[in-house]
């Protein structure tokens, strides 16, 4: 039995009259890949935003790695070991690939005045080491990008941008990785390719836990070890891919309910 | 050290550039100034059209240190050429000081994205600090520079809370309100001389009196040579400092904050810390520049530090290219020299300035010399 | 302090507040439809005053002996129409091209535009760098209540300003055009999909906002009996402050903000009688403090951010 890495209890988020998340209970074991599915507006991204400190939850508690991180700031959540990507790519387009990846690495950087401004020799050395590390990581996803590591991200294609976003999330060695619909805006083939890369990466890093938001059920079935289905901010069910696909509640949420005779 | 071909190319370029600047600064008739300007503009357009400009940029980037040495040497040569010409030397000093001030704004807006519409106010705080200390105490002139910076930074920290809590247009308003408030305050406060302002005793440090002409190597030199040297030293310091900030994790953190606060926070960047750092550092730099400016003018009043001057700082930054250090210096030189040289347009200068910047924002928003992607190495990339 | 002096301050405050509210309404309207701050709006106010003056002189020259009422009507109408046209040109050639640009660029561009307008008036209006006397367009009747002097022209201007504000509010809340403006303000994209002619709505909004600004400029001229090329800078800053205090995008907030700012100035004058110049220091200082307490204005702007 794996240890529970992340859990939330009764997590609720209300925007005025709209309840985006309603008493959500969820537990994630270490090493899992959890697929988070649900129709548009069912609260998947809100869940990420509440956990990563962009919104403060209205009610409920969030625990991570034995600590209570309810309502913690984005910074604290990241330092505790949760990294994420965004649904709409939020890279710094005018900055280079290396810069973007380094943004995910501030935890390990010395941001002090003296070491950055005065000890330039030492700074230069750490910088070169960091370039090596970044290259290593990029090579896992797309070796072709290594050559243009100092070029602006704005020149890259969508799939390469996603890759850089994943690199940025991974370089800080998080324990839990939130991937918010990494396939948005990509073709079917590109999505499959990216998922294979994610799986390959995961096999290197067994301890890494991933939560993946994804619309395409085929991908969910292929990649995830467990799934949770949200609808109108509530959890319909969770379990293995097979169990949720067969669950009539899920079918209803996605396909609509069959009209019974007495309603007619 | 560059290879011999690059060495020659860079030297020739720098020689051409400074010869041109020298002729422009030395020209006195408006017709010849106009001719020089047209020539310059024509050459630049031709260089851009025939794609030589980007080649030059690459050359300069590859031999960064050498190019910086050349620029310094060229500037010293200019000062030597105009060693007796008070007016031109004063212009050169003004360019240096304004460049330093705009570099301060650049740290705030160009890196961390903190909008500051009260640049001239902090410039003025530095100036008034220098004036008050030099008038009333026996603090040596050299110390009033950091004191000016310190006061600007400390008074600026009063604005930190509203600036940090607001964003976008709202924080623009906060600094704008501060600029207007400062201007009125300086005008009505009798303690600071009201609309008449304050005069500063001649600067004296390390036994050198800055109000007297000097003799260097048997040549009579204007006393402004001394001021220019101090201004140049401050510019070099500011240049190195801002460069190092840019090419460090600090600069990267500020960039992250500017471009996307929310994403930056999700990667553990302490948004508040970097905004405070940038705002305070920037104000310190602006304040130092202001203190030196007051000393060089030896007389300051509120009309040196109006909201229009704050706008001028921002315009220079936009014209040069936000975040681009060389762009800032080039744009400052342009904005300071042209109206002073062109007496005909003197009257029309604000009109021309603003029309130019407006056109720039509409048609080339990245500025004259746009910022390059960051390289962390100092001295140039191979 | 005696009551009549307070009343006098109150009357002055109302006049100033009305002027500021009229300027602030423009800021808030433009921000509503386009999410931009048009800082040259203060200078539109100034241009309105100068245009009014020009039309007055032209009118006197062309039709001598025009009755006072007619000339006042003509000056207001022509001045407002002129500035409305200028506003449309500004929106078409400066604001719209910068829609995709960062907010700072628009702010700076409009500041530069404001400087262009200011300098153009200073340089090209005959003897433009000196203050110009503004004609008295309204009869100078006044009533005295004890020590309090109530001037007819002030009362008329105040009432006209109220009517104008009510008119704008009616226009926005109860007409098809107003509905389109509100739709664009909420979601420009969705409004376009639903068949709203976006560029036209922007033009209309700028025409309305600028005409209101011209009214404020004329009111300024009549109130102080003098105009100068520089009046737009401070009025622009005050109008912007008022719009921000009220919460950008909120018309009622802008009106509230205008009166709050005027109130602050009056309080500053009363509290610091030794120098009335401190009233602006005080008012802007309070604005900064207010911003620290209410970072998005008193009547807060609706905030939504999609992550």
Mutation for testing the B interface, residue in A51, A81, A85, A103 having most B CBs under 10 Å: A103
Tell me the C-alpha distance between C183 and C200, whole Å: 13
Name every chain C residue with its beta carbon within 8 A of the beta carbon of B180. 234, 237, 280, 284
Q: What is the pLDDT of residues A8-62, one digit of tens each?
A: 888 888 888 888 888 888 888 888 888 888 888 888 888 899 999 888 888 888 8
CB–CB contact B361 C101 (8 Å): yes
Mutation for testing the A interface, residue in B248, B249, B379 having most A CBs under 10 Å: B249
A53 to chain B, any CB pair closer than 8 A? The answer is: yes
pLDDT at A118: 85
> Band of the pLDDT at A141, cuts 50, 70, 90?
confident
Per DSSP, the three-state class of B84 is: coil
CB–CB contact C306 A54 (8 Å): no
Tell me the C-alpha distance between A168 and A170, whole Å: 6
Mean pLDDT value across residues C79-104:
91
- Average of per-residue pLDDT values in chain C: 87
Name every chain C residue with its beta carbon within 8 A of the beta carbon of B184. 277-278, 280-281, 284
Model confidence at B291: pLDDT above 90: yes
A86 to chain C, any CB pair closer than 8 A? The answer is: yes
A54 to chain C, any CB pair closer than 8 A? The answer is: yes
Tell me the C-alpha distance between B225 and B90, whole Å: 9
B323 backbone φψ class: left, alpha, beta (φ>0; ψ -120 to 50):
left
pLDDT at C143: 82
Name every chain B residue with its beta carbon within 8 A of the beta carbon of A120. 244, 378
Mutation for testing the C interface, residue in B177, B264, B335 having most C CBs under 10 Å: B177
> Band of the pLDDT at C14, cuts 50, 70, 90?
very high
Kindly report the CATH number that applies to the domain delimited by C3-293: 1.10.3470
B300 to chain A, any CB pair closer than 8 A? The answer is: no
B64 to chain A, any CB pair closer than 8 A? The answer is: no
The CB density around residue A3, as the number of other CB atoms within 10 Å, is: 9
Per-domain boundaries in chain B: 1-81, 84-308
Q: Which residue of C has its CA nearest to A86?
A: C307
pLDDT at B239: 96
Per-domain boundaries in chain C: 3-293
CATH 3.40.50.300 boundaries in chain A:
90-174
B268 to chain A, any CB pair closer than 8 A? The answer is: yes
Mean pLDDT value across residues B158-179:
87
B307 to chain C, any CB pair closer than 8 A? The answer is: yes
Mean pLDDT value across residues B230-254:
94
Quote the percentage of chain C above a pLDDT of 70.
96
The shortest C-alpha distance from C306 to chain A (Å) reads 9
Q: What is the pLDDT of residues C176-221, one digit of tens each?
A: 988 888 888 888 888 888 888 888 999 999 999 999 999 999 999 9
Quote the percentage of chain A above a pLDDT of 70.
96
Q: Which residue of A has its CA nearest to B243?
A: A117
Higher pLDDT, B201 or C160: C160
A175 to chain B, any CB pair closer than 8 A? The answer is: no
Q: Class assignment of domain A90-174?
A: alpha beta
CB–CB contact A95 B259 (8 Å): yes
Mean pLDDT value across residues B222-242:
91
Residue of A94, A103, A123 with shortest CB distance to B267: A103
Q: What is the pLDDT of residues B181-217, one digit of tens each?
A: 898 889 888 888 888 888 888 777 666 777 777 777 7
Could you tell me which chains touch chain B, where touching means 3 or more CB pairs under 8 A? A, C
Q: What is the pLDDT of residues A89-135, one digit of tens each?
A: 888 888 999 999 999 888 888 888 888 888 888 888 888 888 998 89
Name every chain C residue with its beta carbon within 8 A of the beta carbon of A87. 307
Q: Which residue of A has its CA nearest to C303?
A: A15
CA dihedral of C109, C111, C113, C115, whole degrees rounded to 10: -140
pLDDT at B382: 38
Q: pTM to 2 decimals?
A: 0.89
pLDDT at B123: 96
Is the CB of residue C287 less than 8 Å from the CB of residue B177?
yes
pLDDT at C304: 43
Quote the percentage of chain A above a pLDDT of 90.
3
Mean pLDDT value across residues B156-161:
91
Q: Which residue of A has its CA nearest to C304?
A: A15
pLDDT at B164: 87
C281 to chain B, any CB pair closer than 8 A? The answer is: yes
Name every chain B residue with its beta carbon within 8 A of the beta carbon of C233. 307
The shortest C-alpha distance from B227 to chain A (Å) reads 27
Q: What is the pLDDT of residues C238-259, one digit of tens each?
A: 999 999 888 888 888 899 999 9
CB–CB contact B173 C287 (8 Å): yes
| Range of B5-9, B163-167, B265-269, C216-220 with top mean pLDDT | C216-220
Could you tell me which chains touch chain C, where touching means 3 or more CB pairs under 8 A? A, B
Q: Which residue of C has its CA nearest to B308?
A: C115
Quote the percentage of chain B above a pLDDT of 90.
43
The shortest C-alpha distance from B255 to chain C (Å) reads 15
How large is the ipTM? Answer: 0.86
> Band of the pLDDT at A203, cuts 50, 70, 90?
confident
Mutation for testing the B interface, residue in A48, A96, A106, A167 having most B CBs under 10 Å: A106
pLDDT at C17: 94
Query: Which of B278, B299, B1, B25 lies closest to B153 in space, CA to CA?
Result: B278
pLDDT at C306: 44
> Band of the pLDDT at C303, cuts 50, 70, 90?
very low
């Amino acid at each position: 039995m794996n240890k529970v890495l992340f859990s939330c209890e009764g997590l609720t988020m209300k925007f005025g009259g709209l309840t985006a998340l309603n008493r959500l209970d969820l537990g994630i074991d270490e090493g899992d890949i959890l697929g988070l599915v649900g129709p548009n507006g069912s609260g998947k991204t809100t869940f990420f935003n509440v956990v990563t400190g962009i919104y403060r939850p209205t009610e409920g508690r969030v625990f991570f790695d034995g600590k209570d991180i309810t309502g913690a700031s984005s910074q604290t959540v990241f330092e505790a070991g949760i990294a994420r990507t965004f649904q709409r790519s939020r890279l710094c387009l005018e900055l280079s690939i290396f810069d973007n990846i380094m943004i995910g690495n501030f935890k390990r950087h010395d941001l002090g005045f003296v070491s950055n401004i005065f000890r330039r020799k030492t700074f230069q050395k750490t910088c070169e080491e960091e370039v090596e590390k970044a290259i290593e990581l990029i090579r896992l996803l797309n070796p072709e990008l290594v050559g243009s590591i100092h070029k602006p991200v704005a020149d890259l294609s969508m799939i390469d941008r996603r890759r850089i976003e994943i690199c940025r999330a991974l370089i800080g060695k998080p324990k839990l990785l939130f991937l918010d619909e990494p396939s948005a805006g990509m073709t079917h083939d590109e999505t499959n390719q990216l998922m294979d890369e994610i799986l390959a990466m995961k096999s290197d890093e067994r301890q890494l836990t991933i939560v993946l938001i994804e619309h395409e059920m085929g991908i969910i079935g292929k990649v995830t070890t467990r799934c949770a289905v949200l609808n109108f901010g509530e959890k319909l069910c969770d379990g293995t891919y097979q169990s949720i696909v067969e669950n009539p509640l899920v079918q209803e949420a996605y396909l609509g309910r069959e009209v019974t005779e007495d309603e007619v | 050290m560059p290879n011999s071909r690059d060495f020659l190319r860079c030297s020739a370029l720098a020689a051409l550039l400074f010869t041109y600047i020298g002729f422009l600064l030395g020209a006195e008739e408006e017709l010849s100034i106009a001719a020089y300007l047209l020539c310059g503009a024509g050459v630049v357009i031709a260089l851009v059209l025939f794609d030589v400009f980007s080649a030059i940029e690459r050359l300069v980037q590859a031999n960064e240190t050498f190019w910086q040495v050349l620029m310094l040497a060229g500037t010293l040569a200019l000062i030597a050429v105009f060693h007796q010409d008070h007016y031109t030397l004063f212009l050169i000093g003004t360019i240096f000081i304004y460049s330093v001030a705009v570099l301060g704004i650049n740290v705030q807006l160009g890196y961390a994205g903190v909008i500051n519409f009260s640049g001239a106010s902090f410039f003025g705080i530095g100036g008034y600090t220098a004036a008050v200390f030099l008038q009333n105490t026996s603090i040596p002139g050299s110390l009033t520079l950091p004191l000016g910076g310190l006061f600007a930074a400390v008074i600026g920290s009063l604005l930190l809370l509203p600036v940090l809590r607001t964003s976008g247009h709202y924080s623009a308003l906060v600094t704008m309100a501060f600029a207007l408030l400062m201007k009125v305050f300086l005008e009505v406060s009798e303690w600071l001389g009201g609309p008449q302002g304050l005069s500063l005793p001649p600067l004296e440090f390390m036994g050198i009196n800055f109000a007297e002409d000097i003799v260097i190597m048997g040549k009579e030199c204007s006393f402004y040579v001394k001021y220019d040297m101090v201004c140049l030293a401050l510019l070099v310091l500011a240049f190195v400092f801002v460069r190092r900030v840019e090419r460090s994790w600090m600069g990267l953190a500020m960039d992250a904050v500017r471009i996307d606060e929310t994403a930056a926070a999700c990667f553990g960047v302490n948004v508040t810390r970097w905004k405070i750092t940038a705002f305070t550092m920037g104000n310190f730099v602006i304040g130092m520049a202001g203190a030196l400016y007051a000393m060089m003018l030896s007389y300051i009043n509120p009309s040196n530090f109006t909201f229009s001057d704050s706008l001028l700082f921002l315009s220079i930054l936009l014209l040069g290219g936000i975040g681009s250090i060389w762009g800032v210096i080039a744009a400052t030189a342009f904005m300071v020299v042209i109206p002073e040289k062109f007496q005909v347009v003197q009257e029309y200068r604000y009109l021309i300035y603003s029309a130019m910047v407006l056109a720039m924002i509409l048609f080339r928003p990245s500025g004259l010399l746009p910022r390059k992607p960051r390289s962390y190495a100092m001295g140039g990339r191979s | 302090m005696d009551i009549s002096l307070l009343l006098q301050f109150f009357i002055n405050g109302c006049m100033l507040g009305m002027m500021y509210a009229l300027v602030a309404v423009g800021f808030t309207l433009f921000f509503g439809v386009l999410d931009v701050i048009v800082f040259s709006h203060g200078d539109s106010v100034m241009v309105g005053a100068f245009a009014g003056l020009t039309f007055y002189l032209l009118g006197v020259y062309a039709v001598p002996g025009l009755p006072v009422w007619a000339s006042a009507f003509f000056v207001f109408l022509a001045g407002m129409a002129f500035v409305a046209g200028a506003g449309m040109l500004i929106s078409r050639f400066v604001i719209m091209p910068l829609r995709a640009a960062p907010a700072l660029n628009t702010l700076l561009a409009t500041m530069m535009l404001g400087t262009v307008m200011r300098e153009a008036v200073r340089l090209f209006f005959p003897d433009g760098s000196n203050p110009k006397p503004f004609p008295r367009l309204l009869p100078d009747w006044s009533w005295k209540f004890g020590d309090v002097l109530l001037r007819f022209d002030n009362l008329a201007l105040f009432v006209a300003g109220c009517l104008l504000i009510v008119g704008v509010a009616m226009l926005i809340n109860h007409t098809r055009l107003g509905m389109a403006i509100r739709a664009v303000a909420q979601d420009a994209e969705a409004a376009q999909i639903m068949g709203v002619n976006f560029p036209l709505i922007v033009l209309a909004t700028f025409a309305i906002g600028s005409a209101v600004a011209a009214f404020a400029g004329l009111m300024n001229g009549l109130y102080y009996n003098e105009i100068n090329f520089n009046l737009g800078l401070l009025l622009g800053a005050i109008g912007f402050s008022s719009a921000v205090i009220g919460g950008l995008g909120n018309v009622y907030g802008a009106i509230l903000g205008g009166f709050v700012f005027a109130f602050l100035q009056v309080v500053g004058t009363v509290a610091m009688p030794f120098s009335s110049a401190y009233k602006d220091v005080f008012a802007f200082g309070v604005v900064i403090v207010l911003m620290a307490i209410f970072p998005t204005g008193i009547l807060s702007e609706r905030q939504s951010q999609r992550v």
